[in-house]
Amino acid sequence: MKKGKIYFNPNDKLKYLILEDGKEIKLPRGYFKADIKASEKLEVNYDESKMKDGIPFIEQALPTKIQNQGQMNQNNREPARAPYNFVPLNETVISGQPQPNHDRFYSEDAKLNREDNKRYSGYVDVQIKTVTPFFIRQEKEQTDFFRVINGKPIIPGSTFRGLIRNMVEILSFSKIEFYDNKHFYKRFNIINDNPNDIKWGFIRRVGKNFKIFEITTKPTQVQHIENNLSKTPYNYKFNNDSVVYSVGKFQGICRVWKFQTNFKSGDGFEVPRDVIDGYNGDVNRDEKSIHILKSLEKGFIVDGTKDNIHIGPEKNQVPIQGIPVFFRAPDGDVISFGNSKFHRIPYEHKIGDFIVQNSSGTTEDFTKAIFGSTDYSTRVFFEDGLLQQINEPEQFEVSIPQLPKILSSPKPTSYQLYLEQKDLNVSETNQRTWKDRGETVIRGYKGYWHRKTSSNKLDKHSWIENGPQTNSHSKEIKPLKAGASFCSRLRFENLTAEELGALLCAIELPKDCCHKMGMGKPLGLGSVEIEISNFIIIDRQKRYGKLFDGSAWHIGLDTNKLSSDYFKNKFAKLVCSVLQMSFKESEGVMNLWNIERLSHFQKILSFSYDHNGHFTGIEKLDNFQWLNISRYMEIQFKPSKDSPYFRVEDDEKKPKNEYKNRPILPNPNEVVQKDIYKKP
């Protein structure tokens, strides 16, 4: 490594590298990303043995001065904000209790009158009341609420089951179950990723597999006006001995590449299955970009929307030599490929590498024990929720279906939001990323804040879109009003007292807390309050002692009349015991919610407004301020004029990019502090 200096030229707004011999090299835009003042010259290390396009490799680590500067800027910015937050991942997994034998129902007779043999069967009737507008879609294109029975709106039992299962998984410290263990993709970075790894060739479909055949001549970048290749992204012109094509726009123009069809000898590079799956599963690739694999399958060029096929001259037919690609195969195995030279590449590690959980025993966890697995069946059964007090059309929030605002999909590159960071003030250059396996873990279970948003599309915080419809929008919806009430029943069989307690804790939340269900959770839809209206334990010995009770079926009700609190306290006591925490009998189930990890969960679930619509829950913020805190960040943010905090001078300021410098998302307990965010 040699020592050099980098300075910024304000005239052409470019950075220059000064070599040890005094020679200056102009750096392309974005090659060195640190901000440099015009009066500064920053020392860096460079390596001339790794030259690319006449530019030596500059050491990845930023100079100390820049790191300190990043730390300083970080301390002066606000934390990130979002309509979601996370329940921290539980490192300890609490083991479930042994499965019952399936040849009998357990009872409390003299033979089996031991604590570990007591099992309970029965049912729980619940009332599900909507607190904000509420919508469940039946089919992809349906605008009406889910309907099956006599055309009346219902909550499917599967939706209710999914909600309670997720709640039990969190509350019982179970193993995180449902996640897509895949690689995340990022943009190739010429500073952090070695440009010498890039190769070029043509990808073809060979049987059911894909192979890349390398070419001997390096592709060249050309100024090709014919067929508007330099203006239209993903346009191709196939010739006998070459291919000319354009990639996505950068700074208003499309780069045009020319590939010669002079192939190297050999069988080519087989594309591994996980690379194929990763390419197909990269949801953050521009949907207008050509989909290489689908194009090979169809025989002509198509993009990621599947419907938008580039129909035109024969240039769009894929010839026998295949489609030109840049690819990386540093050890002889293909690890990525794409249309452009610096295409999207996978991080080394998968999501599962950032999930660290240790089981305290050998049996299944509580969630699998209750809800079943491939080894044994479920012991809980959820019935559809039926809407009460039908009064159409007044029961709906809007008279005609409305277009909801676009919901942001998770951005894997936003690691400052999805991975645990050291603290809120860590600088951008020192943040933990998807390459830092062993140093960090995922944030945990994602949950959505309760938000009381408007159904007036002109309001800034309305859930209804006020702009034109795009391909990213979902179909229009017609949600039910707040105040709609459903009744449902949950039946359970052969549960231990602790298992039944876990189920009841998932249904009955602490005061001022609500569940989230259905569509549009980030937009403020789907807040529901669930109350137990009837809790019945059935004595199976009595149940099958006789068939009828007068003119009705004999149910065999348990006469001990154990309350739901009895079971919830049993479960809370077990959790505290495993975690080696003290259990205060006077606090009962609140011992559970006082556990630090679950106190974060309680903050996310908290939702209470007074009669004036002001937020009076744990957060104790007025509604407008809370809506501003719990919204998505914006690339061009300006306080709206309907904000009570709007000032005339705000209208003259440049819009602020709230993603700049990668602000870190606070945990739920930090979010509810009044002084952590500035007023808009």
pLDDT tens for 47-105 read 887 776 678 877 644 333 333 333 333 445 689 999 999 999 998 899 888 888 766 66
Amino acid at the residue 372: G
Is the predicted pLDDT of residue 183 greater than 50, yes or no? yes
Kindly give the residue spans of alpha helices, DSSP state H, lying in 289-421: 292-298, 366-371, 415-418
Per mean pLDDT, which of 419-423, 430-434, 537-541, 592-596 is the most reliable? Answer: 592-596
Buried b (16+ CB within 10 A) or exposed e, 640-676: eeebeeeeeeeeeeeeeebbeebbbbbbbeebbeeee
Euclidean distance between CA atoms 353 and 49, whole angstroms: 34
Lookup: tokens for 28: 């392309």
Residue 648: its pLDDT value, please? 62
Q: Taking all residues of the chain, what is their mean pLDDT, rounded to a whole number? A: 82
The pLDDT of residue 192 is: 66
Q: Could you tell me where the DSSP H helices lie in 451-537?
A: 497-507
pLDDT confidence of residue 170? 96
Query: Distance between the two ends of the chain, CA-based, in angstroms?
Result: 47
Residue 344 makes CB contacts below 8 A (sequence gap 6+) with: 185, 186, 187, 188, 282, 284, 285, 336, 338
The reported pLDDT for the residue numbered 670 is 87
Q: What gap in Å lies between CA 29 and CA 241, rounded to an integer? A: 33
Percent of the chain with pLDDT over 90: 34
Q: Cα(347)–Cα(403) distance, rounded to whole angstroms?
A: 36
β-bridge partners, 92 = 358
Q: How many of the other CB atoms lie within 10 Å of CB of 363?
A: 14
In this structure, are residues 40 and 624 in contact, taking their beta carbons and an 8 Å threshold?
no
pLDDT tens digits, 343-372:
888 877 778 888 888 765 556 899 999 999
Mean per-residue pLDDT, 393-407:
86
Pair of tokens at residue 160:
């209710």
Based on its alpha-carbon atoms, the radius of gyration of the chain, rounded to whole angstroms, reads 30
Q: Is the pLDDT of residue 500 over 80?
A: yes
User: Strand (E) positions, 188-279?
Assistant: 198-206, 209-214, 220-222, 236-238, 242-250, 253-260, 269-270
8 Å CB contact between 81 and 630: yes
Lookup: tokens for 73: 């800027």
Question: Average pLDDT in the 10-15 region?
Answer: 77
The pair of structure tokens assigned to 623 is 């509604």
Contact indicator for 83, 631 with CB cutoff of 8 Å: yes
| Cis before 393 (ω within 30) | yes
Closest by CA to 524, choosing from 615, 421, 618, 392, is: 615
d(CA 535, CA 589): 18
Residues in contact with 85: Cβ distance below 8 Å, sequence separation at least 6, in sequence order: 446, 447, 449, 600, 603, 604, 665, 667, 668, 671
Pairing of strands 198-206, 209-214: antiparallel
pTM: 0.77
Q: Which two tokens stand for residue 370?
A: 């209750």
Mean pLDDT (whole number) for 396-420: 85
Q: Are strands 14-18 and 2-9 parallel, antiparallel or unpaired?
A: antiparallel
Sheet holding 14-18, edge to edge: 24-27, 14-18, 2-9, 41-52, 55-58
575-585 pLDDT, tens digit each: 999 999 999 99
- Residue 310: which pLDDT band, with cuts at 50, 70 and 90? low
pLDDT for 68 = 37
Give the pairing type, strands 527-538 and 183-187. Answer: unpaired
- Helix axes 497-507 and 564-578, enclosed angle (nearest 10): 100
Measured between alpha carbons, how far is residue 568 from residues 107, 119, 322, 517, 560 in Å? Answer: 20, 15, 63, 23, 17
pLDDT of residue 148 exceeding 90, the answer is no
The greatest distance separating any two alpha carbons of the chain, rounded to the nearest whole angstrom, comes to 104
Distances in whole angstroms, Cα of residue 537 to Cα of each of 505, 532, 554, 558: 17, 14, 14, 5
Binned at pLDDT 50, 70 and 90, residue 307 comes out as: low
CA atoms within 13 A on the CB side of 146: 20
For the stretch 193-243, pLDDT in tens is 777 789 999 999 998 899 999 999 999 988 766 666 767 777 788 888 898
Q: Mind listing the pLDDT tens digit for each residue in 625-641?
A: 788 888 998 888 877 76
Residue 136: band (very low, low, confident or very high) from pLDDT cuts 50, 70, 90: very high
| Confidence label for 107 from pLDDT (cuts 50, 70 and 90) | low
Nearest-10 crossing angle of helices 497-507, 157-171: 110
